[in-house]
Amino acid sequence: MRVSKRASGAIALGAAFALVASGCSSSDGDGGDAATSADGAITVDGTEPENPLVPSNTTETGGGKIIDWMWTGLVEYPNNGGAPQNALAESIDTTDSKVYKIKIKQNTKFHDGTVVKAKNFVDAWNWGAYSPNGAQNSSFFSDIEGFADVNTADPDGPEGPQKAPEPKAKEMSGLKVVDDWNFEVTLSAPTAVFPTKLGYSTFMPLPDAFFAGSAEEFGKKPIGNGPVKFVSWENNVAIKLTRFDDYQLRDKMKIKDVNIKIYQDDTAAYSDLVSGNLDFMQQVPVSALAGDKWKSDLGDRAVSSTTPSTGIIAFPIYDKRFQNPKLRRAISLSINRQEITDKIFFGNRKPADSWANPLTPGATPGNCTACQFNVDEAKKLLAEAGGFTGELVMYYNADASHKEWMEAVAQQIKTNLGINARAEGVPTFAVFRQNINAHKMKGAYRAGWQQDYPDVENWVNPLYVTGGSSNDGLYSNKQVDALAKEASSAPSLDASHAKFAEAVKLIDQDVPSMPIYFGGQQSGHSEKIKKMELSNVGELDITSVEL
Amino acid sequence: MGRYLLRRLLQLVPVFIGTTFLIYWLVWSVPGDPFAGKCGDRRCPDSYINFMTEKYQLDQSIWVQYATYMKNLFQGDFGITFNNRAVGDIIATAYPNTLKLAVVALAIEAIIGLSAGVLTGLRRNGFLDNLVLVSTLFLIALPVFVVGFVLQWLLGVKWGIVHPTVSNEMRLSELLLPGFVLGSASMAYVARVARTSIAENRRADYVRTAIAKGLPMRRVVGVHLLRNSLIPVVTLLGTDLGALMGGAIVTEGIFGINGIGRAVLRAIVTKESATVVSIVVVLVLVYLLMNLLVDLLYAALDPRIRYE
């Protein structure tokens, strides 16, 4: 899950005014021929990366997209959201979904000229998993045998006085280098979805230079193996990338330079986009969405797309008041999702009607029966559940634009069910998350999920299985756990998807959370860009850009 | 004069220590674990939180943290941000940008504000006086972000006369618009203060004497009247440089300028104490020195003021 962290306080102020301003602008198109296009440069918007640029230590979009551009993994996800394809991997073979023999393409290079070998993967994964290194994404390696030996838990959590014990080993026993181009991965249990995960940035290879110095220093001048290489990073100003001429995988770059201009305020970026000073903006500001202003501003340069993400309101099931599934279902049925997406999001997001985002392989569209709008049924269920006493507070983080839709949802619940519901903002995302992590939420709360890799597994295991990494509401259903376990260890993806579908049917009866909307993205590009595509998560696919 | 200066400079020391500690304490008391929200809607691994907490000494008491920070500060080390960039580098790139913007704003408000003030102060209740009165009222009433967005949209996007945002090279021509926006409210105050001051001193004895002596009007106004009327304006302008630098957050955001306002906002939200304190410390120094400069200017402007 990556989350955008752009501060949006000033935007809210600006939004009120920007609604008034409307109009269109024109800028001259410059007809570039092939020769200039190949040496061309584009400027795209970005935010300051929150961490040193190390793949296994980045979970936010600002640094994430730079890592996605600078690295190519074993597999990659096609832009249309379909099943992953081999990229750096020549082949990934398994007979039992437990032992994977991975063969990589020979003689591809890192940006410093060294060759990408099997050990670059094994060493990188061992580094990411080793708990004293403190990588944000270390849990992604937990499928691999020997993970528990390199990643020890803190006995009393980060707040407690005790320290985590030193891990027994530095390397996971499940990783074995066979020769320069082959390595073998043994998982602790059969996992059919493992090859799909390998396209996520955590699994990228790291060059020998990374292990020679410190990760922090490497993160200032990262060396990847992707279509563009790192040039410079000026704090809060710009990050510059340029074409890597020795790149042999996938499509080559059709332009030369990519400059990421760092904006603190997306309305400034939008002004630059409209006036032709910025070539690509991934998400136009909320203020430009009202009345489809962005479409009239940008004309055919406006790009509307869907992203594999879902806006969710989750229940704290550790709170006694929310333990009755009938009550949860009643609340979910009383929400008119269509009205929310039409009125609040101006149709730029779609009402959620399934548990996994429908763009995901293995997802079943329309399988969320609790997502329908049915006031009569909701009232009946509420009565059966014995009503709801007290105030139903719905929490959201007030440092991003969630206020409007959360308040609308609370209002609908109040009107349709007569529950005393209201929305309340928590000042910052950090405090919000801290309360969620500590299981101290006193009401339903906003959550969001963007898939890490395209498979329905990513929409079930982390969210709804007991002990899942993002099962913050502590939902637990033994049957769901058993089915999900069976699904995860199924011999094939098809069998796995079929089992997950069964698990989702049970989840749909329990309603541990309420999917509200499917994410949409509204991007814009300059007239300079003649052709471009978006990746499966909505980032600019830089190799597709033509001027 | 020398002793006065020394005394004032020595006073800076306790003020400096007091403000740094206060700011450090304020940032420290902002609720929330700075690393809890770093992994999006997924819980961060404990190993990551432990690693970062230890690296930035956040498990220590505030006294230890502050002492370490001050010790490093005196060795010229401003600390590092959570994404491992040197705070010193951020200050070195962001400060000149904000300073440039503030100086442009100050120059604009001094030139326009003062000329408007002098002109209206001399001819009160005329058409020009009323025009300035109404337009300054307008500027004072409008919040900076409204002026900023309107002018950016009109001049930058709709008419395309200027670049809507400031490029990384920070050219002077690009800074005129944000400088005007930033200085607009103060400009209105400067005009009003100058007008009142001029109008008051216009009736002073020494002005009457100067006119009676047969001095040309240009000299009466330019030397005698203006110099004596400048004291309140200089106070306003001098303290305004600090205020402009600290208050540029909104303007910097609208025009995409990489200045300290942006950097400090980011740092407050992410609880990066070292960055907040380091930036504000320099800002405090600017305030203190500007105040000192203003006090010294009084003596230059008004011969009756002497410093022992």
Claim to verify: residue B116 and residue B65 sit in the same structural domain: no
pLDDT for the residue A22: 33
User: B244-298 pLDDT, tens per residue?
Assistant: 887 788 888 888 888 888 888 888 877 888 888 888 888 888 888 888 888 888 8
Any CB–CB contact under 8 A between A143 and chain B?
Answer: no
Residues B89, A235: C-beta atoms closer than 8 Å: yes
**Nearest-CA residue of chain B relative to A131?**
B47
Residues A151 and A227 in one domain: yes
Interface mutation vs chain A, best among B29, B30, B47, most A CBs within 10 Å: B47
Q: Does B157 touch chain A if contact means CB atoms closer than 8 Å?
A: yes
What distance in Å separates the CA atoms of residue A424 and residue B67, rounded to the nearest whole number? 38
Is A246 found in the same domain as A315? no
Residue A448 near chain B (CB below 8 Å): yes
Chain A CB within 8 Å of residue B38 CB: yes
Residue numbers in A near B156 (CB within 8 A): 271, 275
Query: Burial of B294 by CB count in 10 Å (0-12 exposed, 13-18 middle, 19+ buried)?
Result: middle
Residue A23 has a pLDDT of 34
Q: Closest by alpha carbon to B245, among B186, B287, B292? A: B287
Pair type for strands A350-351 and A302-314? unpaired
Same domain membership, residue A189 and residue A50? yes
A370 part of a folded domain: yes
Domain count, chain B: 2
* CATH code assigned at A328: 3.10.105.10
Mean pLDDT, residues B150-157: 87
Has residue B35 been placed in a domain? yes
Determine, yes or no, domain membership for A246.
yes
Contact A136 B45 (CB under 8 A): yes
Range of the domain at A416: 307-520
Q: Is residue B308 in a domain?
A: no
| A163: chain B residues, CB-CB within 8 Å | 50
Same domain for A231 and A320: no
- Same domain? B32 vs B97: no
Query: Is residue A349 within 8 Å of A341, Cβ to Cβ?
Result: yes
Shared-domain flag, residues A108 and A211: yes
Q: Would A427 be classed as within a structural domain?
A: yes
Which among B46, B90, B271 has the least Cβ separation from residue A164?
B46
Q: Hey, are the CB atoms on B271 and A23 less than 8 Å from each other?
A: no
Beta-bridged to residue A241, according to DSSP, are: A230, A258
Give percent helix, percent strand, percent coil of chain A, each to the nearest 5.
35, 20, 45
**Which residue shows structure tokens 């550790």?**
A318
Of A262, A286, A316, the residue at which a domain comes to its end is A262
B45 and B101 share one domain: no
SS3 A511: coil
Question: Does one domain contain both B112 and B207?
Answer: yes
A280 located within any domain: no
Chain A contact present for B39, CB below 8 A? yes
Quote the pLDDT of residue A35: 52
Strand partners of residue B218: none
Q: How far apart are the first and last CA of chain B?
A: 5
Q: Does B156 touch chain A (CB under 8 A)?
A: yes
Angle at the Cα of B98 from the Cα atoms of B93 and B101, rounded to 5 degrees: 130
Q: What is the pLDDT of residue B227?
A: 84
| B3 assigned to some structural domain | no
Q: Do B184 and B61 reside in the same domain of the chain?
A: no
Q: Indicate if the pLDDT at residue B68 is higher than 50.
A: yes
Quick: pLDDT tens for A124-141: 999 999 999 989 999 899
Look at residue A16 and tell me if it is in a domain. no
User: What is the per-residue pLDDT for A36?
Assistant: 64
Q: Are residues B65 and B187 in the same domain?
A: no
Q: Can you give the pLDDT at residue A165? A: 83
> Which of A19, A138, A152, A267 is best to mutate for the B interface (most B CBs within 10 A)?
A267
Using the beta-carbon criterion (under 8 Å), do B254 and A265 form an inter-chain contact? yes
Partner A contacted by B61 (CB < 8 A):
no
Task: Look at residues B44, B76, B108 and tell me which one is the last residue of a structural domain.
Answer: B76
pLDDT for the residue numbered A18: 36
Residues B77-94: tens digit of each pLDDT: 888 888 888 888 888 888
| Residue-level pLDDT at B174 | 87
**Which residues sit opposite B116 in a β-bridge?**
none
Question: Are A322 and A240 members of one domain?
Answer: no
Chain A from 281 to 340: CB within 8 A of any B CB? none
B279 and B141 part of one domain: yes
The Cα of A472 is separated from the nearest Cα of chain B by a number of Å equal to 8
CA distance A59 to A74: 19
Both tokens of residue B133?
């009165």
Claim to verify: residue B34 and residue B162 sit in the same structural domain: no
CB < 8 Å to B152, chain A: 271
Task: State whether B199 and B271 are in the same domain.
Answer: yes
Whether A146 and A206 share a structural domain = yes
Q: Please check whether residues A258 and A348 belong to one and the same domain.
A: no
For residue B160, give the chain A residue with the closest CA: A275
| Model ipTM value | 0.78
Q: Looking at beta carbons, which residues of chain B come within 8 Å of A25?
A: 157-158, 160
Q: Do B38 and A50 touch (CB under 8 A)?
A: yes
A237/A323 same-domain check: no
Using CA atoms, how far apart are residues B124 and B196, in angstroms rounded to an integer?
10
User: Which residues, in sequence order, are CB contacts of A86 under 8 Å at separation 6+?
Assistant: A74, A75, A92
pLDDT at A2: 53
One domain, residues B274 and B161: yes
Residue B29 sits at the chain A interface (C-beta within 8 Å): no
Q: Cα–chain-centroid distance for residue A165?
A: 31
Residue B228 shares a structural domain with residue B123: yes
Same domain, A231 and A328: no
Q: Is residue A433 part of a domain?
A: yes
The percent of residues above 90 in pLDDT, for chain B, comes to: 10
The alpha carbon of residue A18 is apart from the nearest alpha carbon of chain B, in Å, by 8
Which residue among B36, B53, B90 places its CB closest to the CB of A235? B90
Q: Which of A380, A376, A377, A413 is nearest to A394 (CA)?
A: A413
Residue B117 phi, psi (nearest 5): -65, -45
Is residue B97 one of the residues assigned to a domain? Answer: yes
B285 assigned to some structural domain: yes
Cα B86 to Cα B52: distance, rounded to the nearest angstrom: 16
Tell me, yes or no, if A471 comes closer than 8 A to chain B by beta carbon: no
Indicate if A221 and A96 belong to the same structural domain. yes
CATH number at residue A235: 3.40.190.10
A139 touches B at CB < 8 Å: yes
Radius of gyration for the alpha carbons in chain A, expressed in angstroms and rounded: 24
Please identify, among A262, A294, A316, the residue that sits at the C-terminal boundary of a domain. Answer: A262
**Residue A204 shares a structural domain with residue A319:** no
Residue B216: inside a domain: yes
Binning pLDDT at 50, 70 and 90, where does residue B34 land?
confident
Asked whether residue B85 is domain-assigned, the answer is: no
**In the block, residue with structure tokens 């704090």:** A235
B97 and B72, same structural domain?
no
Q: Enumerate residues 248 to 287 of chain B having a beta carbon within 8 A of any beta carbon in chain A.
A: 249-250, 252-256, 258, 262-263, 265-266, 269-271
| A458 closest CA partner among A536, A535, A533 | A536
Low-confidence ranges of chain A (pLDDT < 50): 1, 3-33
Residues of chain B contacting A474 with CB distance shorter than 8 Å = none
Establish if B84 belongs to a structural domain: no
Q: Which of A229, A245, A262 is the last residue of a domain?
A: A262
Residues of B in contact with A431 (CB under 8 A): 31-32, 36-37
Residues on chain A touching B49 (C-beta within 8 angstroms)? 134, 158
Domain that holds residue B33: 13-76
Angle at A448 between CA A216 and CA A224, to 5 degrees: 30
How many domains does chain A fold into? 2
**What number of other Cβ atoms are within 10 A of residue B22's Cβ?**
12
Q: In this structure, is residue A115 part of a structural domain?
A: yes
User: Residue B231 maps to which CATH number?
Assistant: 1.10.3720.10
